Amino acid sequence: MFKPKTYLIAAGVFAGTLLPTAELLASTCKGPQPTICTRSCWGARAGGCTSTMGALSRAIIHHTAGSGDWTTDYETAKSRVRGVQNYHMDANGWCDIGYHFLVSAGGHIFEGRAGSMSGLPRGAHDGCNGDSFGFTALGYFHSPYNQSYTSAMQDGMYDVIAWRMPSGWSPYGSGSYCSVTVGRLDGHRKVKATACPGDIIWAHIGNDYYNGNARNGVSARRSCSTGKTAVTVDNASSSFSCSTTWATGTSAGDKYGTDYRWRSTEAVSDPATWTANLNVSASWVVKAWWAAGSNRSASAPYVVERDGGTTTVNVNQQANGGVWNTLGTFSITSGTRYVKLSCWTTTGYIVVADAVRWE
């Protein structure tokens, strides 16, 4: 029975947990180096740390849990990073600031522990600190403050992780770390019992080790020049299939091509399916095109096949018609892969199957 498990990725809300039986991780290149305020830039004290790591395989996201740390102003952010270092060294008695990189609400990126730009200094950030770097957001992203995880801060966080993690590393997948299961990219709370990095940031990470805004955002910045050949499949293509229950429509002006298929929503297994032969194993951006209308479903479930299983993305087909809408970025092995559109969602509407693109 084809009833999809639902993940509302765009809203950062995960309605279930998907634990694939195998970790199929795409080898990816480092992203470009973003602008980073080094230790001399923000006026760091000299650290006295000597411990280093033999490898780097995990990115752990944190927040400083200081409401006064949240700022979009560059100079103020420098001051707050100095304050974090002072607290870590003077109050905690550490040899230096515990984090490897810090990001402000204005998107400014700061080098943390000495040597983080090119070396592998062992940090003091997740309670285990083995083969991991700590990337932290300046601010308090949890009750009672619930500060904003700005788009600039997200961009800065994903930019620095994509650049600093080594070639061949992927943000997808998980493994044993500190005697618990932790993602290759994960939040501090998965390593030990803590609210860090706060519920607001956690909504962008989530328990699905093969998806989520954070992992997809980092992956999109680490795509190699792999020679990918983009594939577009229209409903009129031989690579599209559906049952006779799906009717053909031509009246919508924002359709892709000459027509589209549509079906009433119903609690039955009767998906429309697009298939594509992808030429390389890589990080693929998957997009969908539909003809919008007020009678369309606001929760049309697209099921994307990717490494380790599938992810279902619910979209609002009442809006954003006539353009390519991104369903997400996914690690997908080469070969014949599919996207399905299920009709199994809120009744009283229709779902529209028009075109899908992998790029």
Architecture of domain 28-221: 3-Layer(aba) Sandwich (3.40)
Strand partners, 339: 274, 304
Predicted TM-score (pTM) above 0.85: no
Task: Provide CB contacts within 8 A for 150, sequence distance 6+.
Answer: 72, 105, 106, 107
231-358 folds as Jelly Rolls (2.60.120)
Can you give the pLDDT of all 359 residues of the chain as single tens digits? 333 333 333 322 222 223 232 233 444 788 889 999 999 999 999 999 999 999 999 999 999 999 999 999 999 999 999 999 999 999 999 999 999 999 999 999 999 999 999 999 999 999 999 999 999 999 999 999 999 999 899 999 999 999 999 988 989 889 999 999 999 999 999 999 999 999 999 999 999 898 889 998 898 888 665 667 889 999 999 999 999 999 999 999 889 888 999 999 999 999 999 999 999 888 888 999 999 999 999 999 999 999 889 999 999 999 989 888 889 888 899 999 999 999 999 999 999 999 999 98
Judged by DSSP in three states, 220 sits in helix
Give the mean pLDDT of the chain.
89
pLDDT score recorded for residue 226: 60
Is the separation of the CB atoms in 109 and 37 below 8 Å?
A: yes
Domain boundaries, the chain: 28-221, 231-358
**Alpha carbon distance, N-terminus to C-terminus of the chain:** 30
Dihedral angle computed from the Cα positions of residues 57, 59, 60 and 65, in that order, rounded to the nearest 10 degrees:
150
